[in-house]
Amino acid sequence: MRKSNVFLQIVVHAILLIGAFTMLLPFMWMVSTSFKPSSEIYVFPPRWIPKNPTLKNYVDLFSSINFGRPFLNTVIVASSITFLSVLLSSMAGYAFAKFRFKGRDKLFFLILATLMVPGQMTMIPVFLLLRYLGLLNTYTGLILPGAVSVFNIFFMRQFIITIPNDLIEAARIDGARESYIFFKIILPLSKPALTTISIFTFTGSWNSFLWPLIIAQDERMYTLPVAVSVLAGQYGENIAIQMAGSCIVITPILIFFLFAQRYFIKGIALTGLKG
Amino acid sequence: MRTNIFWISVFIGPALILLLIFLIIPIFASLYLSLTDFNVFALTDWSRAKFIGFRNFYELFQDELFWKALFNTFYCLIVAMPVTVTLSLLNAVLLNREQTRFKNFFKICFFLPFVTNTVAIAIVWSWILNPSYGILNWFLGLLGIKGPNWLGDPKWAMPSIIMLVVWKAVGYNTLLLLAGLQNIPDFLYEAAELDGASSWQKFWYITLPMLRPTMLFITTMMIIGYLQLFEEPYMLTQGGPLNSTLSVVLYLYRQGFKFFKLGYASSIAVVLFLMIAALTLLRLKLSKQD
């Protein structure tokens, strides 16, 4: 009996370790290659630890290829989208949860129904509109279409609806304005939900690719994913510099994830169960 | 108490206006565009686009490349979905055992690919899959297997893409299934144990049926997500070799933003939408029958 338990423990952990290793391996290979001088790339068998590690690839990225600009663009775009989307979605979520007006539930259902529509369907008309307004290759064009999200509105409404009405009514009787109620009562009580949507919106817009690919045709407006995809095309042979570029795109979110992993993992369970 | 119209517009107004401009009106505009011959000439002067009825759709259904893209996309869905579900379920069950150690470490490892940028990690994968210097074929070589030319061989290109797709998705689905497992009340298992049920029986008659809501959610999300396959083939193969990895969205992108046949591309978007809607509804219907 005891023996079979030990055996089972070993098998279970071996399977999980193989899984975890498969997940980590590409990252390790990426980091290792990004520090290799060009002489060590095409070597067989593969060398896991570079013999003469170098920072040249990273230096090249920021000096001759100017990766700083797309980095800055991505920070600006992702933070603005997160700020706007969280603010506007929680405002709308509050109204849908706690205001009473005619047609409220119909309107909410209509908005919710758009979740079934894939982004590619709205992409072409929005592209034409932004082009017409001269907003291609601008921050406004990159940010505005992402500034509100149906999922975030839905998520915030579901959360705010659980806040007791008495709290709000009491404040109203004391003569508090709706803006006061929203910022001083609703938002502080919604912190877990706000954290969840902030994290997911930021990660999502940092990683977003198809939309910036279409909107940012000018090199100066590239975001990191677009810049790194162009890099792969232009420096097809120079694997090390591509790995360094990938590292720059991936690492900030990974660090962010490692610090906030508690909230990520809680958020996943939350979003899944709600859906 | 009814809220006055001023506050309603202050709170809902901004979100509603943005949704109207960037989501709701474009949905209808897209339907209309799919009925026009909007092309590169109309780009500078919209009035050049003519209404042509269903001709785009008629052409689309005779377009061999579109059928190829459709086939490839479903190939990915049909293979990647069961593989993702099986691996995620295995991980979730193992992580849910009381005796399993280092749970947090495993959860974090599994989840890393999900938060990782697809474009950047695809570049890493294409290096891993390199037939002569990649670590995958090196590893297979150690086992005495001669690895194929992954991305260069029409037979192996799609499986390579599916590998990346599954690798990215497993962690997210593991965590969802794990949350589902933790919601199953213990007394069900205790009652089954009293009745002398084996581990397999408990898994088959308690765990799986109780996981149904979670399964419904993850399979629906997978249908929606996998049908929109784009970044992986765009980065790894550009749809090649011999169009063996051309996906519907990649074809839409090409028609729309390489050739600027925006009317034709819109008709692809409409078909994609109809497919997603039909499959989602079908999935919901199947779950109600259970």
pLDDT computed for residue A1 by the predictor:
47
What is the nearest CA distance from A43 to chain B, expressed in angstroms? 7
**Residue B282 pLDDT > 50:** yes
How far apart, in whole angstroms, are the C-alpha atoms of residue B26 and residue B46? 16
> Hey, what long-range contacts does B40-46 have (CB within 8 A, 24 or more apart)?
B40/B259, B40/B260, B40/B261, B42/B262, B43/A131, B43/B260, B43/B262, B46/A128
CATH of A54-274, one of 3.90.1200.10, 1.10.3720.10, 2.40.50.140, 3.40.50.1000: 1.10.3720.10
Q: Which residues of B touch A249 (CB under 8 A)?
A: 117, 119-120
- B2 interface with A at CB cutoff 8 Å: yes
pLDDT computed for residue A66 by the predictor:
86
Of B26, B100, B253, the CB nearest to A122: B26
- CB atoms closer than 10 angstroms to residue B186: 7
The residue extents of the domains of chain A are 54-274
Of A26, A148, A253, the CB nearest to B18: A148
pLDDT computed for residue A221 by the predictor:
94
Could you report the per-residue pLDDT of A99-156, keeping only the tens digit for each? Answer: 888 889 999 999 998 888 999 999 999 999 999 999 999 999 999 999 999 999 999 9
Q: A37 with A244: CB under 8 angstroms?
A: no
Q: Which residues of B touch A169 (CB under 8 A)?
A: 1
How far apart, in whole angstroms, are the C-alpha atoms of residue B218 and residue B240? 30
A-to-B residue pairs, Cβ atoms closer than 8 angstroms: 264
DSSP calls for B109-155? HHHHHHHS-HHHHHHHHHHHT-TTT-HHHHHHHHTT-----GGGSHH
Domains of chain B (ranges plus CATH)? Answer: 63-289 (1.10.3720.10)
**Residue B44 pLDDT > 60:** yes
pLDDT band at residue B120 under the 50/70/90 scheme: very high
A contact test, residue of B84, B119, B253, B280 with most A CBs within 10 A: B119
Of the candidates A191, A244, A235, which has an alpha carbon nearest to the alpha carbon of residue A29? Answer: A244
What is the nearest CA distance from A53 to chain B, expressed in angstroms? 19
- B23 interface with A at CB cutoff 8 Å: yes
**Residue A268 pLDDT > 80:** no
What pTM was estimated for this model as a whole? 0.92
Could you report the per-residue pLDDT of A29-47, keeping only the tens digit for each? Answer: 999 999 999 888 888 788 8
- B25 interface with A at CB cutoff 8 Å: yes
Q: Which residues of B touch A148 (CB under 8 A)?
A: 14-15, 18-19, 22
Q: What is the ipTM of this complex?
A: 0.90
pLDDT band at residue A264 under the 50/70/90 scheme: confident
Q: Does A13 sit within 8 Å of B100, measured CB to CB? A: yes
